[in-house]
Amino acid sequence: MSHILSLQNAGVSYHSLSGETIALQNISFHVEEGEFLSIVGPSGCGKSTLLSIIAGLVEPEEGSITTNGCRIGYMLQRDHLFEWRTVLKNILLGPEISHCLTLDKRILADRLLKQYGLYPFKDKYPSELSGGMRQRAALIRTLVMEPDLLLLDEPFSALDYQTRLNVSDDIYRIIREEHKTAILVTHDLSEAISLGERIVVLTKRPGTIKDIITIDLSIDNEERTPLLSRDAPEFKTYFNLLWKELNT
């Protein structure tokens, strides 16, 4: 597989009246096309800052980042659907703002809505949707811009536990069926293991890479889902390994 993203010794600091704070330093890893990568680390270690660097929202002061011209979509912690726009109009907001609202985009939006169960709700408003449906709508809104790489910043954190499990299965399935590459930032170790093929473990601030763990579960990749992954015999071993990494 080819690398869709590479970081080499990337670092960034924040500057304020009280001085300089190093947020991240010596960050080096790559992401392969079609891979699902998870990133974990202590609170405040720079996980979201790392996504901002990858998205091009923050310029690294050290090192380099190579995205090979890939288009990047960003899914935030909350769905940020506009309550006064219908589901369909929310999904078409990106093309509308980018002045690329073509017939092809409308056809793509319809296909995604039909394929992932939201077409009957396309003329409803966000307040009429469940939390899980809102997250699916937010993902479809991102996918309609046809990104190569999806950045997921704690996308399930606002959901209750049961909904979170169901939605993580939905989101994983959609990403796989649409053949996208994804990077997930999460505080939830079980979530990181159940979704990720590799996990980048960051240290406390200044964030550096402590380890990169490959997840190898005895489940056929074609049949793998986050819920099934939690039942794999190796799951607890990986959980304990991550817990130890983050607490030593």
Domain enclosing residue 115, as ranges:
77-146
- Rounded to a whole number of angstroms, the CA Rg of the chain reads 18
CA distances from 25 to 22, 159, 161, 202, 248 (A): 7, 32, 34, 10, 19
Tell me, what DSSP letter sits at residue 43? Answer: T
Question: What pLDDT does 82 receive?
Answer: 94
Tell me, what DSSP letter sits at residue 128? Answer: G
Question: What pLDDT does 223 receive?
Answer: 81
Same domain, 115 and 219: no
Is residue 87 assigned to a domain?
A: yes
Cα–Cα distance measured from residue 38 to residue 211, given in angstroms and rounded to the nearest whole number: 12
| Boundary-marking domain end, from 146, 169, 200 | 146
Is residue 170 assigned to a domain?
A: no
CA distances from 59 to 13, 48, 62, 118 (A): 10, 14, 9, 37
Question: What pLDDT does 1 receive?
Answer: 56
Q: Which residues of the chain have pLDDT under 50?
A: none
Is residue 38 assigned to a domain?
A: yes
CA distances from 140 to 49, 82, 149, 150 (A): 24, 14, 14, 12
Cα–Cα distance measured from residue 165 to residue 169, given in angstroms and rounded to the nearest whole number: 6
Same domain, 110 and 232: no
- Short-list 108, 117, 175, CA closest to 144: 108
Tell me, what DSSP letter sits at residue 57? Answer: S
- Short-list 6, 31, 53, 24, CA closest to 183: 31
| Boundary-marking domain end, from 146, 173, 201 | 146
| Boundary-marking domain end, from 125, 146, 167 | 146
